[in-house]
Structure 1
Amino acid sequence: MSSKKLKRIQSLSAEIVDRLARNNVTTCKDVLSKSDLELLKILGVGILTVQKIQQQCSRACIPTHTTGFELLTKRKEGSGQFFPTGLPGLDDVLHGGIPKGTVTEIAGPSGCGKTQFCTMLSVLATLPKDNGGLGGRVLYMDTESAFSAERLVEIALHKFPDVYSSEEDLCKMAKNVLVDNHQTCASLIKKLEMLEEEIITNKVSLIIVDSIASLVRKEFSSSSGSNLVQRTNFLSRQAALLKYLAEVFCIPVVVTNQITTRFGHQATEQDEEEITEMSEGFVTVALGNTWSHNVNTRLILQYLDDDKRQVLVAKSPVAPFTTFNYTIQKDGIIQEAEGSGLYAGTDPGVQRIKVRTSLPFNNTCTGT
């Protein structure tokens, strides 16, 4: 909340906002980080005016509360609070799809369909509301250079041939997916801190970060004590910003995560390419328990065989531990008619994942 832009505080005059901006004071946090003397010099006003501005910024940072009745009323209003994924069974157990105003994580091994899932969600979000979409733009933050515009168009063309019946329609859809490439943690954090104005200006209805783990694992070692503290602080800051944006603008935020191996009670950040089902220990979601507690919903993708894969609802405030089988087709992620069921879930931070192999692997949880 402290990242709120001063220009969005209606009680502050344009003159005050302009004076502060000329001194690189653009957010509530910037104002509240300054001393009375610093603000007096910047604004050239009296101490009473400075204190009033500080109070206005403080009030703007206070999270708004809601009642249980209001939440229940919103839930009864139907799909307005959810973003359908296009997988009927998954949407059903999630009470309508991915909840708006929350952070949803899609985790799994390389090649299991995380980016495919996000690409399909991008197409769905750009659909007009009359067709079940969000009718807005998508901000796709790509940290692995994995986004494919060709795949975006292919999914739209095959999944919604009636909606995207011409090249003009496809081009319009593609223009509504705004892709940002980030190669450093600092770049990603800076983008998130400055994102409010872009969400409003571009009418963003879905934020995707693919992947949340890629940059962290490149820049921070999980074995170094000092790096571990910095890494935890970065993840906490990142999660706070994503949750803030989701809640304030009531939009879904989707992030992807990678996998790691866990030995006993310890996890090591082993590269995905080096992980096999015969590795000692077991495979689980990367970034540890601290990050696990920051996501509202966690979906885990895992392999069943060369063609079929499985999505596990590993964490949700409304859904039980459920599995659904799916395949990847030209029109995106397609749920199989068979293979759904409940499974014996565990702590989502240590949920075991099945990775690709030609050898039998019994160290996983699968649906019944």
Structure 2
Amino acid sequence: KMSSKPLSSLKIPRNILEKLHHHSIYKIQDLITKAPMELVKLLSIPLQKVQLIFDTCFENLAFDPTNALDLIKKNPVEEKLPNDNFDKLICEIGILRRGLLSEVCGPPGVGKTQFLTQLCITNSLIYPESSTIYIDTENNFSSKRFLEIASEKFLTKEKSEEDLIKMTKNIFVFKKFTISEFEEILRFIECEIITRNSSLLIIDSLASIVRREYSGSDSSILNERSLFLSKCSSKLKAMAEYLEVSVKIFSKFKTYVQLKFS
């Protein structure tokens, strides 16, 4: 894991590195758990130098997502969709308001993933200088569908092809299929949001990745699942507020309706 990378492999001055080792700080994960002022005291260096060390660590923690443009190049498409009033509705009801955590729920096949795809594009129109982070845990992100919707929206907004390309470069797709992979990206998601100037974070989906690894109906498993979801939700809610980012979590559920006729 990137957080296990030794500090000796980074561009940190030797004298500071020796002080870090003296305090049993050998890896990135050891350092980033310390508060900046704590390191100022331990290392006897100015806060500005401590910040430079943190910056070096965060640069080496940067993940390597696939942007939407690269995905589109692999799956080119020329079709167009009819126009709709989606953008206007989203603006009126404030779904993309920053600092807000929301959950998108519904049964399979109702169109939740398409809704999230449209949110990515609408967010780019509202906040053109920011980016979107899309964490895909089910391989649901469709570059073909994305380009269909994006092309139509940008056409009706009288945007240029250059604007469309810029937008696709600012949609960062992380494909994480296991709990360990998801926990790794979640641990450093604040760094990703700040580094990429993101205004929207989409998780598609949180519940499914948990069900895959916490399968079964045993009470202990259900408790572990609930604790994990609760911990993730609490962190995402707090992060949405203090980083002023809009967070959208996708969840699917099955509804069973039984009709009784006499």
Contact persistence 2:207–2:229 (CA under 8 A): no
Equivalent-residue separation in structure 2 for 1:214 and 1:245 (angstroms): 22
- The aligned amino acid for 1:22 is Y
Aligned length: 198
With a CA cutoff of 8 Å and minimum separation of 6, indicate the structure with the bigger relative contact order: 2
Selected match of 1:26 from 26, 31, 35: 31
SS of match in other structure, 1:99? coil
SS of match in other structure, 1:244? helix
Aligned to 1:103: 101
Map residues 286-325 of structure 1 onto 2, 5 A cutoff.
none
Between stretches 184-193 and 160-169, larger displacement belongs to: 160-169
Aligned to 2:163: 169
Question: Quick check: 1:254 aligned with 2:255?
Answer: no
Contact persistence 1:125–1:135 (CA under 8 A): no
Equivalent-residue separation in structure 1 for 2:163 and 2:251 (angstroms): 32
Unaligned runs of 5+ in 2: 1-15, 45-49, 51-84
Deviations 1:134-193 (A, max 9, x none): 531100000110101222221121123155654433222111100000111221122111
Selected match of 1:141 from 131, 135, 141: 135
Contact persistence 2:154–2:160 (CA under 8 A): no
Equivalent-residue separation in structure 1 for 2:124 and 2:233 (angstroms): 25
- The aligned amino acid for 2:167 is M
Aligned to 2:12: none
Aligned to 2:117: 119
C-alpha displacement of 1:133: 3.5
Equivalent-residue separation in structure 1 for 2:234 and 2:225 (angstroms): 14
Percentage of identical aligned residues: 35
Whichever structure has more helix as a proportion of its residues is 2
Equivalent-residue separation in structure 2 for 1:134 and 1:26 (angstroms): 35
CA shift in 2, pair 1:179/1:164, >3 Å: farther
Aligned to 2:87: 86
Deviations 1:251-279 (A, max 9, x none): 10011101035xxxxxxxxxxxxxxx55x
Equivalent-residue separation in structure 1 for 2:182 and 2:132 (angstroms): 16
Map residues 1-368 of structure 1 onto 2, 5 A cutoff.
19=20, 22-23=26-27, 24-27=29-32, 30-31=33-34, 43=42, 86=87, 88=89, 92=92, 94=93, 96-127=94-125, 132-133=126-127, 135-163=129-157, 165-221=159-215, 223-261=217-255, 277=256
- The aligned amino acid for 1:86 is D
Contact persistence 1:98–1:104 (CA under 8 A): no
Deviations 1:103-123 (A, max 9, x none): 111111112111111111101
Contact persistence 1:115–1:146 (CA under 8 A): yes
Task: Provide the aligned C-alpha RMSD in A.
Answer: 3.2
Aligned to 1:72: none
Between stretches 194-203 and 166-175, larger displacement belongs to: 166-175
TM-score, normalised by the number of residues in structure 2: 0.65
Whichever structure has more strand as a proportion of its residues is 1
TM-score, normalised by the number of residues in structure 1: 0.48
Aligned to 2:63: none
C-alpha displacement of 1:99: 3.3
